[in-house]
Amino acid sequence: MKKIPAGLIIPSAAFCLQKSSIAGYQMLDKSPEQGDLVFGSIRRIGQHSSLENVSGRIHAIHNGSKAVFVFGNRYAPDHYEGIVQEDLVKDVDLLARSGMIGTVVTKNAMLKDPTRIRIQGYLVDKQGKVLNTRDFPKIKSSSKKGKAKLVLVVGTAMNSGKSLAAAACCRALHQMGYAVNGCKMTGTASLKDILHMNDAGAKDFADFTYLGYPSTYKLSMNEMLNVFHTLDSKLGSNSKNFLVVEFADGINQRETAMLLECPEIVSRIHKLIFCAADALGAVGGIHILKTKFNLVPDAVSGLCSSSPLHIRELNNFTDAPVFNGADLKLDQMAEILLN
């Protein structure tokens, strides 16, 4: 066993890691699992040239930079699809700025090849056991039920404007005098989105990394339900409050679709916000919400909401109000979120 150097970057995908548990690192004949922690160094800079740490600080990285990394799966149509490979290999791909690693399966053609990480060894405790983020949840399951008014934000895909819309809902509710919390239930580790909710007025905030998951891609339905109910009970137990929730990626994505098909989750929705990059995407998404999930959005937002022409096209197909998260109108938001 070797000691890790001082001042090591702990990335946000390892949010739950207790540094006091790290005894050192060593190479072991072990297949990696989601959440397994390793010590590694940057072998070649590619798409990602920075790492987000557990406080949200963005570190510039260079060839030779050393850090902790976390094995995980990623689903990102605008970036990479990556998986935890079956065997431990010397060099792996950096799947996200949050320090999640694995093997790229597919990539968006507009992206560079991934940054490559050379693994020096698994992080281990004093007994030589490999450390895994799932061993250190900051939020644990509870018997409490979610009672807060839940505002759910979904969309057509990643980068459709969901996070801006979620933050806008937090800001509107906070400015109207309501207590509001925020969370992101699915996706890939990244503190940026939930920190934006906090900046917008969400008092308490969390995501799946607080439960030890570096991502939710390829989780089972039982695991997804545990994530939902654990975060809902922690952040949404007060019936007088609001809870703004974002589901990552699009409504056709595996985990998002699983949750939208679950009656006990659908029954928690107070208001449903649908986000799209353009009017046609919004129209198509509204149709899928109705035909596949029997859901009707209470409002539309996202990138399309910044364009009067997109809004004009959209109004030919739906009566749902459209709000622009970057140009909030509190009277409109009160009509959408409170009635």
**What is the C-alpha separation between 100 and 34, in angstroms, rounded?**
10
pTM of the model: 0.96
Residue 6 has pLDDT above 90, yes or no: no
Looking at the domain assignment, is residue 314 inside a domain?
A: yes
Looking at the domain assignment, is residue 104 inside a domain?
A: yes
| Claim to verify: residue 305 and residue 162 sit in the same structural domain | yes
- Beta-ladder partners of 58: 52
**What is the C-alpha separation between 176 and 334, in angstroms, rounded?**
8
Percent of the chain with pLDDT over 70: 100
Mean pLDDT of 246-270: 97
Looking at the domain assignment, is residue 235 inside a domain?
A: yes
Instruction: Write the Ramachandran bin of 82: left for phi over 0, alpha for psi from -120 to 50, otherwise beta.
Output: beta
| Claim to verify: residue 197 and residue 71 sit in the same structural domain | no
DSSP 3-state of 190:
coil
**What is the C-alpha separation between 321 and 203, in angstroms, rounded?**
27
Looking at the domain assignment, is residue 140 inside a domain?
A: no
pLDDT of residue 143: 84
pLDDT of residue 274: 98
* CATH number, residue 305: 3.40.50.300
Mean pLDDT of 271-297: 98
| Claim to verify: residue 117 and residue 261 sit in the same structural domain | no
**What is the C-alpha separation between 255 and 194, in angstroms, rounded?**
19
For residue 68, report the phi and psi dihedrals to the nearest 5 degrees.
-85, 145
Helix or strand (DSSP H, E) at 43 = strand 37-44
| Claim to verify: residue 74 and residue 28 sit in the same structural domain | yes
User: Are the C-beta atoms of residues 58 and 51 closer than 8 Å to each other?
Assistant: yes
User: Where is the domain boundary, 106, 135, 164?
Assistant: 135
User: Where is the domain boundary, 113, 135, 157?
Assistant: 135
| Claim to verify: residue 333 and residue 213 sit in the same structural domain | yes
pLDDT of residue 117: 98
pLDDT of residue 302: 98
pLDDT of residue 20: 94
Residue 288: domain span: 149-338
Helix or strand (DSSP H, E) at 181 = strand 180-184
| Claim to verify: residue 214 and residue 329 sit in the same structural domain | yes
For residue 269, report the phi and psi dihedrals to the nearest 5 degrees.
-75, 120
Looking at the domain assignment, is residue 143 inside a domain?
A: no
List % helix, strand, coil for the chain (3-state, nearest 5): 30, 25, 45
Q: Tens of pLDDT along 44-56?
A: 999 999 999 999 9
pLDDT, mean over the chain: 97
| Claim to verify: residue 164 and residue 310 sit in the same structural domain | yes
pLDDT of residue 34: 98
For the chain, how many structural domains are there in total?
2
| Claim to verify: residue 217 and residue 307 sit in the same structural domain | yes
User: Where is the domain boundary, 135, 167, 201?
Assistant: 135
pLDDT of residue 141: 87
pLDDT of residue 221: 97
| Claim to verify: residue 116 and residue 207 sit in the same structural domain | no
